[in-house]
């Protein structure tokens, strides 16, 4: 087999969609597994909606995912000469004809056909024009599109996932390949591009199956080699409908901003429609590349399970070295305005190790670290009602304050021993002491190990926060 060459060709009319990222990942894995090339092409022929900003977002999204490309990015907007040459060749050889119909004229004829109870497809009105009619349109200066004259017969191809797919050409209308404004349509440009770039396998969403017969007709008319096609099932929302903005978050950058790790997100995407034939669910990139096989792709759409994504992300966070996590966490701390200059780098790594055991998102390192870097400004209201506003919280915190004031070391085993002795001497349940303390120190009801937390906060700040909590309790009573 010649070198495998695959591509991804997003349109810069919006952010990189999760579905496009999913397709890009499978193409990338396929290329890396087989020693092939992964090409990036930007399909920006929709000049009114395509923007440089969206191009940058797409490139940044792919870089964040770690999906690197071997060639490109190529831009369709810079390849118009190729499309013009191909269209000129097809028109000269009789595969294309000029269509002078306006949108209004087509719509009028379409409505009449629909009202008669029949299905509409272009009626070849302009294919049957006389030379006099054509000349009249030319003198008028009427714009024209170029339509492909679909031949009789059947168009078939062997899909790498779905097997043989056949379509009667009678079902295909004479489709436009060049619009009246001179811009190529998707089906035409993609054929010219894929051929000129030597694409051997076109792996894309199954919503493109209906386009494939049209593209094969163009390949044959241009006397070009037809690539192999693999049409992937679409990603589904949790209600089994097509994943869309109305069903939830679909932009890759949103998941980055929510605090997902790129490796975790890639791991999750890889499992949407592909089975590695193992019960294992956490894979390194190298493992994904080595295991990836088109034969193990599913023909059914996979559901985008947010809970599973969150679980995978938490597993990655827990297993990641604190030093590596620091590179992700530091920019978030900077953005939050935390002043951690008084802490050593080793202290910050210990803090990351402390938080990561309960973290599910990178943003948790902001929420769960705020009370390490600045004083508690407010308390969780439900926690206040449950752990502060009762008959025992004030007395217990006073007693704790006294006992903690007597010790010098705030190492976890020392502070834990203080709590153990209070519980033994008073007979109270440990929770009646631990929960009010956590709320006093963090303003929250959940968090990392209390005794490790106290060590990091230190004796002076711990006592100050207990005093502040006692004052709060007295003011609320």
Contact of 317 with 282, CB cutoff 8 Å: no
CA distance 191 to 151: 18
The tokens of 210 are what? 């209906």
**Alpha carbon distances (Å) from 121 to 45, 114, 472:** 25, 10, 75
Q: Is 63 a catalytic residue?
A: no
Query: Using the 8-state DSSP alphabet, how is residue 251 labeled?
Result: B
Burial class (CB in 10 A: 0-12, 13-18, 19+), 412: middle
Contact of 313 with 363, CB cutoff 8 Å: no
Phi and psi at residue 38, in whole multiples of 5°?
Answer: -110, 120
Catalytic one of 245, 299, 421, 429: 245
Burial class (CB in 10 A: 0-12, 13-18, 19+), 446: exposed
Residue 366, CA atoms < 13 Å, CB-side half-sphere: 17
CA distance 62 to 47: 22
The reply to whether 356 sits in an annotated binding site is no
Q: Say which residues have a Cβ less than 8 Å from residue 6's Cβ, sequence separation at least 6.
A: 27, 28, 30, 31, 36, 37, 38, 39, 199, 200, 201, 202, 203
CA distance 205 to 252: 17
The three-class DSSP label of residue 423 is helix
Binding annotation for ATP: 245
Binding annotation: 245
Among all residues, which ones are annotated catalytic? 245
């Amino acid at each position: 087999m010649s070198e495998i060459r695959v591509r991804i060709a997003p349109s810069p009319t919006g952010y990189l969609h999760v579905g496009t990222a999913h397709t890009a990942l499978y193409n990338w894995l396929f290329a890396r597994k087989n020693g092939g090339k992964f090409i990036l092409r930007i399909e920006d022929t929709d000049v009114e909606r395509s923007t440089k900003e969206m191009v940058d977002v797409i490139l940044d999204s792919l870089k964040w995912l770690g999906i690197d490309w071997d060639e490109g990015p190529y831009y369709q907007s810079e390849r118009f000469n190729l499309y013009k040459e191909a269209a000129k060749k097809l028109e000269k050889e009789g595969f294309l004809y000029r269509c002078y119909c306006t949108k209004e004229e087509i719509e009028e004829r379409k409505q009449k056909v629909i009202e008669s109870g029949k299905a509409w497809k272009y009626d070849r009105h302009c294919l049957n024009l006389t030379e006099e009619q054509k000349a009249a349109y030319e003198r008028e200066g009427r714009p024209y599109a170029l339509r492909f004259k679909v031949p009789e017969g059947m168009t078939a191809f062997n899909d790498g996932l779905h097997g043989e797919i056949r379509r009667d050409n009678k079902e295909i209308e004479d489709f436009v390949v060049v619009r009246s404004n001179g811009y190529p349509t998707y089906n035409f440009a993609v054929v010219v591009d894929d051929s000129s770039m030597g694409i051997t396998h076109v792996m894309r969403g199954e919503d493109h199956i209906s386009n494939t017969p049209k593209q094969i007709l163009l390949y044959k008319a241009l006397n070009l080699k037809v690539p192999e096609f693999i049409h992937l099932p679409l990603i589904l929302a949790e209600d089994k409908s097509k994943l869309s903005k109305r069903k939830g978050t679909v932009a890759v950058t949103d998941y980055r901003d929510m605090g997902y790790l790129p490796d975790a997100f890639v791991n999750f995407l890889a499992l949407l429609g592909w089975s590695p034939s193992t019960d294992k669910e956490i894979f390194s990139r190298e493992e994904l590349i080595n295991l990836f096989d088109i034969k193990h792709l599913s023909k059914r759409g996979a559901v985008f399970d947010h809970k599973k994504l969150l679980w995978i992300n938490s597993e990655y966070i827990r297993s990641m070295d604190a030093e590596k996590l620091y590179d992700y966490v530091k920019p978030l701390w900077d953005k939050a305005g935390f002043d951690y200059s008084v802490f050593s780098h080793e202290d910050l790594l210990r803090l990351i190790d402390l938080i990561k055991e309960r973290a599910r998102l990178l943003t948790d390192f902001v929420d769960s670290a705020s009370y390490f870097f600045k004083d508690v400004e407010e308390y969780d209201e439900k926690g206040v009602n449950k752990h502060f506003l009762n008959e025992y919280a004030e007395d217990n915190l006073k007693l704790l304050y006294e006992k903690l004031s007597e010790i010098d070391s705030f190492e976890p085993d020392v502070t834990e021993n203080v709590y153990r002795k209070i519980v033994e001497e008073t007979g109270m349940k440990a929770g009646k002491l631990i929960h009010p303390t956590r709320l006093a120190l963090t303003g929250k009801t959940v968090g990392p190990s209390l005794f490790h937390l106290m060590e990091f906060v230190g004796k002076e700040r711990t006592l100050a926060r207990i005093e502040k909590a006692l004052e709060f309790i007295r003011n609320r009573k």
